[in-house]
Amino acid sequence: MTRPEWFVALGLLVFALGSVRLLFVRDTVTRLVALNIAGAGVFLVLIALAARTDPPDPVLHALVLTGIVIAVSVTGLGLVLIRRSDDGADESRDGDAP
């Protein structure tokens, strides 16, 4: 296997690990982290595909950059929702929670 091929395989492995964790864990923060890991796996595959040529393919790099921006914003949204649902759970336990 060439080096890019190794990295494609590695990226797919990381994607699979993240996806499995996302499916089988209940804790919401863990699931959000797992989603980010799965995303990192996909980005690794795309970067490895770009590295097959010299110089590397800029279009795939642009896709990864956009993908990272989307992943960051989605993570932010997810964290807000986690805080909200945790606050809601606290309120239902005792009335004077923040």
Partner 1 sequence: MTSLLPAFVVVPALVATLVAMIPRIGAVAAGATALAGVVAAVALTLRVSADGPVDVALGGWAEPVGIALRADGLSAAFVLFTAVVVLVVTVFASGSSAARGTPFFWALSLALWSGLNAVYVAADLFNTYVALELVTVAAVGCVALGGRSAAAPALRYLLVAVAGSLWFLLAVGLLYARTGTLSLRLALDVLRDPTDDGALVATVLILATVGLALKSALVPLHAWLPPAHAGAPAAVSPLMSAVVIKASIFVLYRLWTSLPADAATTSLAVLVGAVGSVAVLWGSLAALRQARLKRVVAYSTVAQVGYFVLLLPLVVPALRPEADDAARAVAELAVQGTVAMVAAHALAKSAMFMAAGCLLHARGTDEIAALRGAVVTNPGAVLAFGVAGVALAGLPPALAFSGKWQLLTAVLESGQWWWLIALLGGGLLTAAYTVRVLAVFVAERETGTENTPVPVRMTAATLVTAVAAGIAGVASAGWLATTTVGVF
| List of residues contacting partner 1 (CB under 8 A) | 15, 19, 22, 28, 31-32, 35, 38-39, 42, 45-46, 49, 52, 59-60, 63, 66-67, 70-71, 73-74, 77-78, 81-82, 84-85, 87-88, 91
When the beta carbons of 1 and 59 are compared against partner 1, the nearer one is: 59
**Nearest-approach distance from CB 54 to partner 1, in angstroms:** 15
Distance CA 52, CA 83 (A): 42
**Nearest-approach distance from CB 52 to partner 1, in angstroms:** 8
CB 17 within 8 A of CB 36: no
First to last CA, the chain: 56
Distance CA 26, CA 22 (A): 8
**Nearest-approach distance from CB 86 to partner 1, in angstroms:** 9
CB 21 within 8 A of CB 37: yes
